């Protein structure tokens, strides 16, 4: 296990909202490596001391390819989830958390914020959550990650 390294695997297909949040975190923290889910087979999660799973919410769930990748995580991995959604609702992390529990991964924390959504009928009204993620959303994501770093003793 490599000390003081965070890997964030990202699935962000709608407007790149989730990727925007993740890239902002990576710009502030040099220990973060960001990998698109399509390149996730090129990294070894065992090399990292903390793993982030980042996704937009699609039909109430994290992106399927990210859920499938989570099913291959080594047991005991400390994992956090990060997501963007059009409309706030409980339960967006239920499926991914279930996978993580089955893998005996430790769920270190979770962060969600709005992301511009023009899916389906929302397109007709110009979308919802316009302008998100905002600088405030990104600041909150940053505070969340700072807290995680302390909790996981990453420096």
Residues forming the site for ligand FMN (CB under 6 A): 12-19, 56-60, 84-87, 115-117, 119
C-beta of 138 vs 154, nearer to ligand FMN: 138
Distance, CA of 144 to chain centre? 12
Taking the complex as a whole, the smallest distance from the CB of residue 108 to ligand FMN amounts, in Å, to: 21
**Rounded distance, CA 36 to CA 28, Å?**
18
Q: Which is nearer to ligand FMN, 123 or 147 (CB)?
A: 123
Q: How far is the CB of 12 from ligand FMN (least distance, A)?
A: 3
Pairing between β-strand 106-114 and β-strand 6-11 as defined by DSSP bridges? unpaired
Taking CB atoms, the residue at the shortest distance from ligand FMN is 115
Nearer to ligand FMN, 60 or 74 (CB): 60
The residue among 14 and 106 lying less far from ligand FMN, judged by its C-beta, is 14
Q: Are strands 32-36 and 6-11 parallel, antiparallel or unpaired?
A: parallel
- How far is residue 53's CA from residue 96's CA, in Å, rounded to a whole number? 9
C-alpha–C-alpha distance, residues 63 and 134, integer Å: 22
CB of 80 to ligand FMN, least distance (A): 16
**Cβ contact 79:105 at 8 Å:** yes
Q: How far is the CB of 89 from ligand FMN (least distance, A)?
A: 6
């Amino acid at each position: 296990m490599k000390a003081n390294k965070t890997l964030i695997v990202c699935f962000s297909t709608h407007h790149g909202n989730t990727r925007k949040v993740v890239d902002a975190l990576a710009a502030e923290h040099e220990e973060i490596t960001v990998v698109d889910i399509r390149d996730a087979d090129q990294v070894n999660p065992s090399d990292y001391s903390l793993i982030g799973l980042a996704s937009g919410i699609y039909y109430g769930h994290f992106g399927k390819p990210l859920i499938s990748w989570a099913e291959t995580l080594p047991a005991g991995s400390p994992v956090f989830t990060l997501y963007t959604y059009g409309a706030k609702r409980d339960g967006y992390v239920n499926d991914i958390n279930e996978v993580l529990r089955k893998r005996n991964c430790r769920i270190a924390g979770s962060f969600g914020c709005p992301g511009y959504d023009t899916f389906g009928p929302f397109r007709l009204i110009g979308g919802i959550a316009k302008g998100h993620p905002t600088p405030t959303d990104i600041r909150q994501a940053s505070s969340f990650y700072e807290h995680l770093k302390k909790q996981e003793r990453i420096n």
